[in-house]
Structure 1
């Protein structure tokens, strides 16, 4: 589990620390730094995987040198595309160094990104004793806000799904569903209360049914054409994804990713509430709480008060402990042109102990205008 992240001179962060728990919500204004936190994590993951991609790094970090220096840092690859070093260097930085410290299971990884004397980017990783590489393809998953949309056929990749990968946009999620149709979910407590069995497809359908009542799903692989077809079923009628609401397909990769998870996984999800009715957002938040309570770490960026409030209710109903929930609110000091963040405390009754101005208070503001 990620315990702590420290950022110095990375994008909008001059020097900030973040402490993580099982379920983590990043909320706040647009361009307030939420995505930058996620990008810093993905940047480290991207560079670990790029070096063989991990095996090479394990070998290098076993040397006696205090620091291992690489002449390349991959700012632009499959997880993030950040441009040049000047694009991610804080505008108030005194020097040209960016520092990212990541603590996982109380083991620290320090990453320094800078320009050398030849103006080339250098990445420097501080040697770590007994480091276990927990940021890998096997247990660290990312689902972006740009998820799959309704269409006739979906992407096929046996290589990806055998590694448990469904793609940054969920593009292989339908193939994964079809391939592991009859497998049991790994975390038994995630079984939907609408079914008596632990079959993966059945539970995906039942949880999706909390968003669209009565829905069932089928996914069929055509190995010859290397494509996958998805159908939604309501009673005796079958529907193509194009003829069902956009939100169903947009949410399906999230449910697949959550139900395929196992204890120790780290999952980042951007804007899970997109295209969903408020009641559906609440059901999805409840599932996230159940997953996090089973030892899967979730880091979620959201703009939804319905999502937040469902988590508060889940705390009150003992689905998840308040000690397992971390909420950060990001705002901007426009006079100083600096990001301000505040840790939001939720008590055991789901109440917020410190409610800062601007934190999901827009409904109250508009309601007051209606009343007066």
Structure 2
């Protein structure tokens, strides 16, 4: 689980300051305020860690099949107006829930532009259990490898350049002798945390009328949710208890949202094709023929049940096309499954209903403020600004931002004033009518 994130000179962020990440973290705020940049920073590191080229320092994307985002060039990532040094940085901390050789650690990397226009790590720092390993770029692409507070580097040279942002090369590991295995374990733990990010974007693919099942469980749902139905088919058509629980869980949550009574998979004749059937009010219909809200939330529910324990599930606008009650129930999904399945949710949302239900769940003590974090992101001139929302034990916000989710009280006040004014006008008009 990620426990901390900090960005400096990254896109809209001069600095985020330290952001505490909890089992359920919600990012709220205005459009184009910088919320998505927070998510993209982790996905940038994930696609870098998965890059086939181990010598790359940062994979800005461009491969539509394997990358989550194309970030463009260095200047597209660097905050506009950044002066010397022209660098941006990403830092995070993590804590592993399963027994592991490295239970917790931190990552921080600063990136700059080379004379040829590429991106190079200026400084990489990996830490765990009070130990700190750094790679610092010197002239002509050479790196110094430093350990803890030792005044002299363990080694220098171009051959000591970091790999994929998260690892030191084999030459550096060998150079560190007895400290080498710890650094290897730390790099592997960081890689695992990034690989365990599961991302579902705001635009999910529309459903098909029927599907072919290849008799295997897919490895992922996909950023647009296009493999969600494959997961449901595998869950429904195999006898594996853990896999079978996925479709049952999805069906139960659809019922709790009151968008369907249940979900089933039907084989079409004796072919290899199957359809997803939605039952509601005694009527069975193909997924293609029901409201779009069901097909859009289906990947959200699927990934929440499918992601392995220890995963960080990042969701953008999970509430899209859902009615208010269903949006509210999403908060219950995040709270219950984060605890039951040991997964982390980082949710970017515009839904007032989702937020209000989170407040209620805190008031009902179904989740405590220490396990939930909510942030409001807004623009201050050209820069993004982060406001941690301070909630008490009853879910009340102590530092309510101006214009947050509109002004419901103001709208009610204005409606009441207009109603009174109109009543007066009607009485005056009726009083002037000749008898």
TM-score (norm 2): 0.71
SS where residue 45 of structure 1 aligns? Answer: helix
Inter-partner Cα distance in structure 2 for 1:167 and 1:145: 12
Give the distance between the partners of 1:4 and 1:242, measured in 2 at CA. Answer: 41
The alpha carbon displacement at 1:236 in A equals: 5.6
Tell me which structure has the larger Cα radius of gyration.
2
Cα distance change, pair 174–152 in 1 and its aligned pair in 2 (3 A): same
Work out whether 1:217 is the aligned partner of 2:274: no
- Distance in 1, matches of 2:202 and 2:110, equals 28
* Structure 1 residues 158 and 46, CA gap change in structure 2 (3 angstroms): farther
Quick one: structure 1 residues 178 and 23, their matched pair in 2 at CA, closer, same or farther if it must change by over 3 Å? same
**For the residues of structure 2 that align with 1:230 and 1:177, how far apart are their CA atoms?**
9
Inter-partner Cα distance in structure 2 for 1:73 and 1:124 = 15
Indicate the residue corresponding to 1:193 in structure 2.
Answer: none
Partner of residue 197 from structure 2, selected from 140, 147, 152: 140
Tell me, in whole angstroms, the C-alpha distance in 2 between the residues paired with 1:157 and 1:10: 42
Which residue number corresponds to residue 113 of structure 1? 111
Deviation at 1:174, TM superposition (A): 0.5
| Counterpart-to-counterpart distance in 2, 1:230 and 1:109 | 43
Aligned counterpart, 1:264: 310
Counterpart Cα distance in 1 of 2:401 and 2:212: 44
Deviation of residue 48 (structure 1)? 0.6
Question: 1:11 and 2:11 equivalent?
Answer: yes
User: In 2, distance between residues paired with 1:322 and 1:362?
Assistant: 25
C-alpha deviation, 1:134, in angstroms: 2.7
* Aligned pairs for 1:68-217 within 5 A: 70=56, 73-77=59-63, 78-94=67-83, 95-105=85-95, 106-123=104-121, 126=124, 128=126, 129=183, 130-131=185-186, 132=189, 133-137=191-195, 139-153=196-210, 161-163=217-219, 165-181=220-236, 182-185=239-242, 199-212=245-258, 214-217=260-263
TM-score, normalised on structure 1? 0.83
Distance 1:157 1:51, change over 3 A: farther
Q: Is the 8 A contact 1:146 1:169 kept in 2?
A: yes
The whole-number CA distance in structure 2 between the counterparts of 1:155 and 1:364 is 52
How far 1:235 moved relative to its partner?
6.1
Q: Which has the higher contact order (CA 8 A, sep 6+)?
A: 1
Aligned partner (choices 326, 329, 343) of residue 296 of structure 1: 343
Structure 1 CA distance, aligned partners of 2:317 and 2:27?
Answer: 10
Instruction: Label 1:353 to 1:158 Cα distance change in 2 as closer, same or farther (>3 A).
Output: farther
C-alpha distance in structure 1 between counterparts of 2:281 and 2:400, whole Å? 45
Equivalent runs, 1:308-327 vs 2, <5 Å: 308-327=355-374
Are 1:345 and 2:390 counterparts? yes
Q: Structure 1 residues 142, 154: CA separation in 2 closer, same or farther (over 3 Å shift)?
A: farther
Decide whether aligned partners of structure 1 residues 266 and 46 sit closer, same or farther in structure 2, where only a CA change above 3 A counts.
Answer: same
Residue aligned with 1:4, SS: strand
Q: Match for residue 274 of structure 1?
A: 320
Structure 1 alignment gaps of length 5 or more: 57-68, 187-197
Aligned residue in 2 for 1:195: none
CA displacement, residues 114-139 of structure 1 (integer Å, 9 cap, x when unaligned)? 211222222467253331123344x2
3-state secondary structure, aligned to 2:295:
helix
Write out per-residue CA displacement over residues 183-232 of structure 1, whole angstroms, 9 at most, x where no aligned residue. Answer: 4458xxxxxxxxxxx8332221111112235532223589x998753222
Q: Residue by residue, what CA displacement relative to the aligned partner does 1:299-351 show, whole Å, maximum 9, x if unpaired? A: 000111100011111112222222101011011123xx222221002222222
Aligned in 2, Cα 1:155/1:34: closer, same or farther, shift over 3 Å?
farther
SS in 2 for 1:208: helix
Partner SS, residue 135 of structure 1: helix
Q: Secondary structure at the match of 1:329?
A: strand
Contact 1:99/1:112, CA 8 A, preserved across alignment: yes
Does the aligned pair in 1 maintain the 2:112–2:119 contact within 8 Å?
Answer: yes
What does residue 400 of structure 2 align with?
355
Q: Distance in 2 between matches of 1:349 and 1:147?
A: 35
Matched, 1:30 2:20: no
Q: Find the aligned partners of 2:279 and 2:266 in 1 and give their Cα distance.
A: 14
**8 Å Cα contact 2:24/2:373 also seen in 1:** yes
